[in-house]
Amino acid sequence: MLAFLAIVAACMGQIPIQQARSQAIGSSVTISGIVTNGNELGTIRYIEDGTGGLPAYPGTGSVPGFATQVERGDSITVTGVLYDYNGLLELSPITGFTVHAKGTIPPDPPPRMLGEIQESIEGTIARFVSVTFQETGDFSGNASYTILDDQGVQADVYIRNGQNIVGTPIPTAPVDLVGIISAYFGVQLLPRDLNDLIPATDLYFTNEIRQTDLDAGSVTLTWTTNLPASGRVIIQDPFGNVLEDTLITSAATHTHIVDQLAPATFYRIQVVAERPGSQISSQQRWMSTASLLPGSMEVYFNQSVDQTFAMGVDPVTTSGDDVLDALLQLIQTATESIDLAIYNINEAVIVNALNIAYNKGIQVRYVAAAATSNSVFEPPPPFPILYGNDWALMHNKFVIVDAQIPELASVFTGSMNFTTSQIYNYPNNMVLARDHALALNYTREFEEMWGSQGALPEPDYARFGAAKWDNTPHLFKVNGSFVESYFSPSDFTNREILDELQSASSSIRFALLTFTRDDLAEAMIQKVQGGLEVRGIIENINDNGSEYVKLLNAGVNVIDHSPDALLHHKYGLVDDMVVITGSHNWSNAADQQNDENTLIIHDPNIANLFRQEFEARWGELPVSVNAPGEQSRNSWRGVVRDGSLFLFGDNSMNVLAEVTVMDLLGQPMVSQQLELVAGVQTYILPIPVLPSSHYVVSIQPGDQEGVQFLIPVVR
């Protein structure tokens, strides 16, 4: 075949594909080779000739018949114009093609590791050895998935509608994945059919290694294999020195404690599982020990909360002025270092505080978004700034102070940008975590974007977006509570949010600027169908792919945030025990493209603070228990607590009203008469003790129009 192609080359004047790839965009080139895919990937065809690969796409201006006549295994010659489509070099339009032979055997996919992928082999097919899908469930069409190899390198896999892969289970065991190396704003691997997902071994991890506990001198990890297997636990310190290589006796499920470690220190841990004839390696995971000091967490809101839901704890503030003051105080009390990764800023007072700190000799480093104004940086301040992620968003919002000093190390993070409207007008939250290990973790993420560990950035080494690695630990302990930390897009943050939602046993509440993730919406719908309370507020209900209408139609109690002030939160609340918060909107862009940071806080006191915030925002909105989309004119809200029904509302009537408390199926539980007095906004009715749940209250004032609204029972 190669000899045949050489004869064709002499006749047609084409050039080798690798040489064609080096020509300028817009050049017309002629190539010959073997086609490695058919219409399972659409109308595009990938072509290889032994020197390289190049796809041909019959775009506007192409000669007819290409997609219908060219199949996998064809030997062809193609002439077309070099074109860059979102990072993929291709021929389009196609100005001529000839099919020389059909049924030719395509080249055997060479074995490769994910770390070997580079531009020179784009367009070729390869077999990626022993990779693991990070998602679970069934494959969907027109969707991206993430694979990871045992070196910790990841890549995106794209499944197109119409492939026979769609609807089949995502492999939970390692596979050898055969795929064409393509690109779409980054590397994208394209398997063609189910035959391209090849089981790697009869022994595999059913649960990869995961950290389940930590203290200042040890970490606890677990893993499970499908068959009983012995294991070797390999622990490396941050410098790559192997500290322990422990043999674990044969079993399917293992829990292992690694002790005699240093506090607030990161270790790279891997398990090698073995049984006769089989050996597999787990992914390498970074794990952290706890800080020597217990640490603390404080919560800040810039808008009011509903203290009728308070369980003995209050936020530090509900004032934007106080949030700004807390940030300024954090900057002013820094003794050694201040690192900031902030999407947008226009508050000069913050920059002035950073200037003062910098002039005092404190190291100040600032990562800003290239995609927004950052108007206060004109003229540039004296401290160094690196602008990052010019094709997606550097959307982080975090400040790290004195990370190397155990008793001072702090992280200030949440949903708030440092602009006037964000600080004062738009509902936002911030969490101040004083913890050495967590501050070091955020510093590692910061320095990956910064490109160095020094005072000045190294742009050539800076990594943003899809170029970043999952190189941080994910479990910490602050003041006795577990805190999970994730950074997008390297850490599969959406998977962790999904796990939390799927674990809910009583309730889910959320307040989100943007919500476009189908899987998160499906998880909530399933919970509602199982009888759980799910309530949410969404600001951008008209986003492309918004889940708002889907949730409404499925019976989820979700509301459009209608007040003028933009709801900028990105938080979820699970079972009044767990808070998910940070910069991460519940969207594909946040999970797969943007630089984002997320905390999952397992602390009932912190959760109660967010519950108070949620109920305040919920209480500002018209609440309908009627058909989705039907407008409610309710201005009332309420809560049941300690055998009393508290009602709050704007009332302008002197009238006797009938108040009925119903369950969620509309069955009356309590009915009483209440005398409404014009101007009185608070009423308390004694009622029988009700089980913890949510109920619907109906207020019918004589022959006037009545209202219905949802209330909780608070213990």
In a domain, 624, yes or no: no
Specify whether 466 is located in the same domain as 518: no
Residues 217 and 162 in one domain: no
Q: Is residue 629 part of a domain?
A: no
Radius of gyration of the chain (CA): 29
Number of CB atoms found within 10 A of residue 383's CB: 19
Last residue in a domain, options 260, 286, 312: 286
Q: Compute the distance between CA of residue 490 and CA of residue 98 in angstroms, rounded to an integer.
A: 43
Task: Examine the domain organization and report whether 342 and 468 are in the same domain.
Answer: yes
The length of the chain, given as a count of residues: 715
> pLDDT tens, 279-303?
888 888 999 999 999 999 999 999 9
* CATH code at position 248: 2.60.40.10
CB of 451 within 8 A of CB of 461? yes
CATH number of the domain residue 705 falls in: 2.60.40.1220
Decide: 199 and 169 in contact? Cβ < 8 Å: no
Spatial distance between the Cα atoms of 254 and 210, rounded to a whole number of angstroms: 11
Q: Which of 65, 45, 61, 55 is nearest to 20 (CA)?
A: 55
Does 701 share its domain with 583?
no
> What is the rounded distance in angstroms from the CA atom of residue 683 to the CA atom of residue 678?
12
| 467 and 568 co-located in one domain | no
Do 326 and 281 belong to one domain? no
Give domain status of residue 270, yes or no: yes
Q: In Å, how far are 1, 63, 89, 561 from 75, measured between CA atoms? A: 9, 18, 21, 58
Structural domain for 307, as ranges: 296-473
Q: Alpha carbon 491 to chain centroid distance? A: 8
- Condensed to tens digits (0 to 9), the pLDDT of residues 8-53 reads 444 456 899 999 999 999 999 999 999 999 999 999 999 999 999 9
Q: Beta strands 707-714 and 694-701: pairing type? A: antiparallel
| Domain co-membership, 433 together with 345 | yes
Are the beta carbons of 106 and 154 closer than 8 angstroms?
A: no
H runs (alpha helix) in 41-130: 66-69
Cα distance between residue 486 and residue 238, in whole Å: 19
User: Identity (one letter) of the amino acid at 405?
Assistant: I
Burial of 106 (0-12, 13-18, 19+ CB in 10 A): middle
If DSSP states are collapsed to H, E and C, what string results for 292-361? CCCCEEEEEECCCCCHHHCCCCCCCECCHHHHHHHHHHHHHCCCCEEEEEECCECCHHHHHHHHHHHHCC
Paired tokens of 422: 């964000």
d(CA 256, CA 213): 10
* 171 and 261 housed in the same domain: no
The span from the CA of 11 to the CA of 9, in Å, is: 5
Looking at the structure, tell me whether residues 359 and 469 fall in a common domain: yes
Dist. CA 444–CA 468, nearest whole Å: 11
Q: How far apart are CA 330 and CA 433, in angstroms?
A: 12
Task: Assign 688 to helix, strand or coil.
Answer: coil
**Pick from 421, 448, 473: which residue ends a domain?**
473
Residue that has been written with the tokens 């649960």 in this structure = 207
- Sorted by sequence, the CB contacts under 8 Å of residue 56 that are 6+ apart come out as 44, 45, 47, 66, 78, 80, 90, 91, 92, 94, 97
What is d(CA 74, CA 378) in angstroms, rounded to the nearest whole number?
58
Nearest to 125 by CA among 17, 50, 20: 50
Query: Is residue 479 situated within a structural domain?
Result: no
Q: For the chain, give me the number of helices (H) and strands (E)?
A: 12, 40
Q: What is the token pair recorded at 370? A: 């290239």
Q: How far apart are alpha carbons 448 and 440 in whole angstroms?
A: 12
In a domain, 421, yes or no: yes
State the CATH number of the domain containing residue 403: 3.30.870.10
On the 0-12 / 13-18 / 19+ scale of CB atoms within 10 A, 107 is middle
Does residue 312 sit in the same domain as residue 432?
A: yes
Strand order of the β-sheet with 410-414 is: 296-301, 429-434, 410-414, 397-401, 337-342, 363-369, 385-388
Q: Which residues are catalytic?
A: 568, 570, 575
Q: Does some domain include residue 631?
A: no
Per-residue confidence (pLDDT) for residue 625, from 0 to 100: 39
Do 300 and 430 share a domain, yes or no?
Answer: yes
Same domain, 500 and 606: yes
Q: DSSP secondary structure string, 478-504?
A: ETTEEEEEEEETTT-HHHHHHHHHHT-
Q: Considering the domain boundaries, does residue 626 fall inside one?
A: no
Total structural domains within the chain: 6
Which of the residues in the chain have pLDDT under 70? 1-13, 623-635, 642, 664-666, 692-694, 712-715
Strand 570-574 relative to strand 507-512: parallel, antiparallel, unpaired? antiparallel
**Spatial separation of the C-alpha atoms in residues 696 and 662, rounded to whole Å:** 5
Instruction: Map residue 618 onto helix, strand or coil.
Output: helix
The distance in angstroms from the start CA to the end CA of the chain is 78
Token pair listed for 313: 């704890």
Q: Is residue 166 part of a domain?
A: yes
Picking from 579, 638, 641, 567, the residue whose alpha carbon sits closest to that of residue 611 is 579
Indicate the residue among 286, 314, 334 that finishes a domain: 286
Show the tokens assigned to 672.
Answer: 């009483």
pLDDT of 2: 41
Of 75, 125, 186, 178, the residue nearest 489 (C-alpha): 186
Instruction: Decide: 520 and 494 in contact? Cβ < 8 Å.
Output: yes
What type of residue is 140?
S
